[in-house]
Amino acid sequence: MEVRANVRPALLPIGLAIAIFLSYVTFLAVPIGVFQFGLALLLAVYPMGAVAFGLLGSFALVVLFWRRSRISGIAMVIGLATLTIAVAVPAPQVPMARRAVDLVHVIAYSGELQRQIQEALRKGDSPALASIEIGGWAGGGYGIGYDPTGEVALPVEERSKPWKVAAEQTFFSVDGVEVRHIVGNYYALSY
């Protein structure tokens, strides 16, 4: 019974850290809107203010939970540290938060990508490729693509001529596009 009594105060701070992480993933997964543009502009103009605000907010959360109980405070420190690692530290190349956003995009846009593939196959395109631009601003953008051949992962000079022709109808052909594998035949695109 003593273990349960010690674990109970830790549940709320850990739940809050998970909620903050899920909010961050949702914020990144939704295409850029006015709020995101304003926040990005604010971060660009006042980057140190954003860091200071984050540190002050984190400190306030830890103090709030520490006053409740020492276990709550420790759990909040662990939760915030884990959240920081999940958002900022690449593992091995992509932070966990970005991978979560990519998976949300796969779930949200797979139907439209499959519709594009079926339409390309009906027109006789081979290979059939699909892509969707999700957002972007200031000369750049990002999206998601579907390539059942996997040729997008090859160096440009090794891709087949039919693939290059099919890619001209998608965002795979944008100059300077960076392609990162998500899962299966789905790829994150940034340009």
Among 63, 89, 115, the domain boundary falls at 89
Same domain, 146 and 183: yes
C-alpha 74/C-alpha 66 separation (Å) is 7
pLDDT of residue 92: 63
Mean pLDDT per 10-residue interval, the chain, length 191 residues:
62 79 72 62 66 77 81 80 72 76 88 93 89 76 89 88 89 82 91 80
Query: What pLDDT does 74 receive?
Result: 81
Residues 102 and 177 in one domain: yes
Domain shared by 67 and 105, yes or no: no
Tokens representing residue 108 in the block:
């949200």
Residue 178's identity, in one-letter code, is E
Domain around 8: 2-89
State the distance between the two ends of the chain, measured CA to CA, in whole angstroms.
56
Domain termination site, one of 89, 121, 139: 89
